Chain A
Amino acid sequence: MRYRETGQLHMDFYRTLNGTIAYLRKKHGLRFLNEALRRMARGVYRSIHEDLRRGDPEQLVEHWTYFFDREGGRYQLQRQDGSIRFTVKQCPAIAYLRSRGLKIDPAFCRQTVVINRALAEGTRFEISTEVLGGGRCVQTVRRVRP
């Protein structure tokens, strides 16, 4: 995995992330926000995207589970019929913002939706993100091309 941070967490970055998403949405619009997130996926997470292009989703799965474990998120990982389902039962980012009584921007979960979509573009996979609300979602990786 390309990035594997250890040591102290600074969860208050979620406050800034939430504020940044709100600012971009209000001042520059959703298209601009999407483009910044897309570049995050294709630049910062280039290594995950390249693995997907080669047909290997395991770095993405490790990325999900490593950082959820590190931040105390709750999830279930299931593999079935060639698809991998990551069911988020408690998103650590949402949990942190709620614990501080902060208003969560309506576009906050767009980060997950857009990044997943951009990671899958041009690969053999499709990554769907079903946002269920309340810090829950289902992210599914499916091979759609041989």
Chain B
Amino acid sequence: MIPSDHFVRFYNEVFKALERKGHRHLVAYWQELGRLQTRELAARFRVGGIEECHTYWKRILEEEDCKGELTLTPTYFEFRMRRCPSLAKVLDNDAAPCEFYCDHCMGWVEPVMKAAGLHAVMDMKSRSEPHCVFRVFRDPAPARAYARRARLLSSPYAKSATTATETRRNRA
């Protein structure tokens, strides 16, 4: 049995195995995660908007032992992750991290938010340090403006080959 404590390290091995087979296989897996999460969450966020996003991630912050701050403004909801327990564990590992590990997060969030009529932007900041800033906007214009300012934008569904190349180039 892989203990629940070690699941993210297995996740990391799965991502690496899919990436070795071809980046499109990794993207297809993120799409599957997105499809499942959309079924679970999209209606809830469509009805509750960014306020419901705040409620949902408040619970995640507590349950998943994240270190970070949540902010709710009239324009957006922000999750400022100071220590991501998932990447922290993948880095505390005798196996190497998948270079696209962080993208799985936006990989499920983006389809959910699209289905909910909201606009998510994730600035990963760094792929080797477990922190990031994630915002969900009500409107697309401020989301685009924030995305332009991002240090390391997560865009898992941008054209796969280009994304892979750009992500490698931007790797921090």
Q: From the candidates A10, A13, A44, A68, name the one contacting B95 in the complex (CB within 8 A).
A: A44
Bound-complex Cα distance A92 to B93 (A): 23
Does more than half of chain B's interface fall in helix, strand or loop, or is it mixed?
helix
Residues of chain B contacted by A10 (CB below 8 angstroms):
4, 63-65
Contact (A36, B64) CB under 8 Å given A67-B5, A71-B3, A93-B4:
no
Is A58's CB within 8 Å of the partner chain B? no
Q: List 28 A-B contacts (CB under 8 A).
A: A2-B94, A3-B92, A8-B63, A9-B5, A10-B64, A12-B4, A13-B4, A17-B4, A28-B18, A28-B21, A28-B25, A36-B17, A37-B10, A39-B16, A40-B9, A40-B10, A40-B95, A44-B94, A45-B94, A46-B94, A67-B5, A70-B3, A88-B1, A92-B4, A93-B2, A111-B10, A112-B1, A115-B2
Residues of B within 8 A of A (CB): 1-11, 13-14, 16-18, 21, 25, 28-29, 32, 36, 63-65, 92-96
Binary flags per residue of A62-77, CB closer than 8 Å to B gives 1, else 0: 0000011011010000
Q: From B1, B18, B65, give the contact of A67 (CB < 8 A).
A: B1
- Please indicate the chain B residues that have their CB under 8 angstroms from the CB of A68 in the complex: 1
Contact residues of A: prevailing secondary structure: helix
Q: Can you name the residue of chain A whose Cβ is closest to the Cβ of B8? A: A13
Please indicate which of the listed interface residues A7, A20, A24, A73 has the most CB atoms of chain B within 10 Å of its own CB.
A20
Which of B4, B6, B17 has a CB less than 8 Å from the CB of A39? B17
Contact between B14 and A36, CB atoms less than 8 A apart: yes
Judge whether A5 and B5 touch: CB under 8 Å: yes
Set B5, B29, B32: member contacting A3, Cβ < 8 A: B5
The answer for the CA separation of A3 and B5 in the assembled complex, in Å, is 9
A35 within 8 A of B: yes
Nearest chain B CB to A78 CB, angstrom units:
19
A102 contacts B by Cβ under 8 Å: no
Minimum CB–CB distance for A11 against chain B, Å: 5
- Which residues on A sit within 8 Å (CB–CB) of B5? 3, 5, 9, 67, 70
Can you add 7 more A-B contacts, CB < 8 Å, to A13-B8, A17-B4, A20-B14?
A: A13-B4, A16-B11, A24-B14, A36-B10, A40-B13, A44-B93, A73-B1
Contact partners of B93 in chain A: CB under 8 A: 43-44
Closest to A67 in B: B3
Contact: B11 with A20, CB < 8 Å?
A: yes
B1–A93 CB distance below 8 A:
yes
CA distance A24 to B92 in the complex (A): 25
Task: Pick the residue among B1, B6, B29 that contacts A92 (CB under 8 A).
Answer: B1
A91 interfacial by beta-carbon distance below 8 Å: yes
